Amino acid sequence: MSTTPPPQAPTTDARPEKSERNDGDGAFGWLRALGPRGRRAFAGAFGGYALDSYDYFTLPLSMVALAAYFGLDSGQTGLFTTVTLVVSAIGGALAGVLADRIGRVKALMITVVTYAVFTVACGFAPNYETLLVFRALQGLGFGGEWAVGAILVAEYASARHRGRTLGVIQSSWAVGWALAAIVYTLVFSFLDEGLAWRVMFWTGALPALLVIWMRRRVHDAPGATAAREKSPQKGSFAAIFKRGTADTPGLLRTTFFAVLLSTGVQGGYYTLATWVPTYLKTERDLSVVGTGGYLTFLISGAFAGYLTGGYLTDKLGRRRNIWLFALLSAVCILAYANIPGGANTLVLVLGFPLGFCMSAIFSGFGSFLSELYPTAVRGTGQGFTYNTGRAVGAVFPTTVGFLADSWGVGGALVFGAIGYGLAALALLGLPETRGKELV
């Protein structure tokens, strides 16, 4: 729900507007503007997405150990990511519908519990097939958390600050990624690889603590809840595929181009997130500690990128921010994948801008997708488009896995640049939404 006061009549005291300007100014004005309930919603969404990220990265960081333990080739290991992301499309779409029908917070807690339970289950898998099934089921919760959490916070944030507020939420992905890298370094340094990968998955139980807190402290934005409950079409897939008429604009065009945008950005991102750890270990011959060190630069760049992208999406607009970082991300992938052998210092240096650009492009997603859909189907629209794009984008990591046997992992990573080209094309069919109020 927006915290911006309604327009004042000429005879009304203008002090509320002055208060908003004061509350909204400064480096943390966006946080003060959320209000107490909004800040608790922010904390819940931030923690949920950070732990979502942590649970996701237990797999890529353990990929080499898993391949050795189960005797897998590159195509089979790439299939882990593809299955997770494809099933996440189902989970994300269902979570979006739930968010529109039962509320944002209840849907958010369901997604967190789901991804936590099945991440832990992965640690008990006796064979490749069982692990593949558990990882797929983990995708049900993984797919829904971001979309629901982003909507929850977007409905509290003012139009003035929504981009940077959601950008900070997005930055929690880097926080979870960093936590996973730290735990990976510790666990794999002190335990045998055959046990270490299991311990990594077992630590995925952490989100259960967050759910206990959220159940008592976090609530949906009242204004958006009232608007949603009044609509007869809440949680309707038919509504987001409705064609427009001369009198009433439809959402079909928006849904199509939003899926294409999400496909491109996530295809590029998950290509890198899945295969960079393997690239560093197999083609750069880095140790566990060395891989963790190089990932520190990549993750630091990602965190800075999320924060910077959030600021720029409010200043430049949603579309310009995505245009800018789609171009820069493609350039960085090409540069990173073509570093000559032995130049590991250059791999280290380029890790920061690579992480920065591929993350800054995501910062506008939470605000952009929330603003493209009306309140009654906001969860359905955002959940479907973001996660369908994630599922189709999942083809990219698998393709890299199969190409890696002949091209090498470094050469195959270039395939991810194609995704950013798709994202740039998708923007041609979407409107600019900066400044839009969410009822």
Q: What is the 3-state secondary structure (H, E, C) of 113-135?
A: HHHHHHHHHHCCCCCHHHHHHHH
Tens digit of each residue's pLDDT (9 = 90 or more) over 36-46: 999 999 999 99
What are the structure tokens assigned to 78, written together?
């790439």
Q: Contact at 8 Å (CB) between 361 and 423?
A: yes
Q: Which residues contact 4 (CB under 8 A, 6 or more apart)?
A: 20, 158, 159, 160, 437
What is the average pLDDT value for the chain, to the nearest integer?
83
**Which of 169-183, 292-306, 316-330 has the least mean pLDDT?**
292-306
Which is higher by pLDDT, 295 or 310? 310
Residue 17 has, within 13 A of its CA and on its CB side, a CA count of 8
pLDDT at 419 over 50: yes
Report pLDDT for 396.
77
pLDDT at 350 over 60: yes
Report pLDDT for 277.
62
Report pLDDT for 135.
92
**Which of 128-137, 190-199, 218-227 has the least mean pLDDT?**
218-227
pLDDT at 406 over 80: no
Instruction: Provide the whole-model pTM.
Output: 0.78
Report pLDDT for 156.
93
What are the backbone angles phi and psi of residue 110, rounded to the nearest 5°?
-65, -40
What letter represents residue 154's amino acid?
A
Q: Rounded to 5, what percent of the chain is helix, strand, coil?
A: 80, 0, 20
Give me the mean pLDDT over the 379-394 stretch: 87
Report pLDDT for 323.
94
Report pLDDT for 22.
53
Helices (H), 283-364: 288-315, 318-337, 344-360
Q: How far apart are CA 47 and CA 214, in angstroms?
A: 10
- The segment with the largest mean pLDDT, out of 48-52, 120-124, 279-283, 392-396, is 120-124
What letter represents residue 55's amino acid?
D
Tens digit of each residue's pLDDT (9 = 90 or more) over 142-168: 888 888 998 999 999 988 889 999 999
Q: How far apart are CA 240 and CA 237, in angstroms?
A: 6
Reported as a pLDDT band with limits 50, 70 and 90, residue 137 is: very high
Q: What percent of the chain has pLDDT over 90?
A: 40
Q: How far apart are CA 335 and CA 331, in angstroms?
A: 6
- Inter-axis angle of helices 252-282 and 417-426, to 10 degrees? 160
Report pLDDT for 16.
38
Reported as a pLDDT band with limits 50, 70 and 90, residue 203 is: very high
**Residue 244 neighbours by CB distance under 10 Å:** 12
Q: How far apart are CA 385 and CA 380, in angstroms?
A: 8
Give me the mean pLDDT over the 224-238 stretch: 79
pLDDT at 288 over 60: no
pLDDT at 14 over 60: no
Report pLDDT for 425.
93
What are the structure tokens assigned to 359, written together?
């993350």
pLDDT at 100 over 50: yes
Q: Contact at 8 Å (CB) between 131 and 79?
A: no
Which is higher by pLDDT, 286 or 302? 302
Q: What percent of the chain has pLDDT over 70?
A: 83
Give me the mean pLDDT over the 95-99 stretch: 92
What letter represents residue 245's amino acid?
T
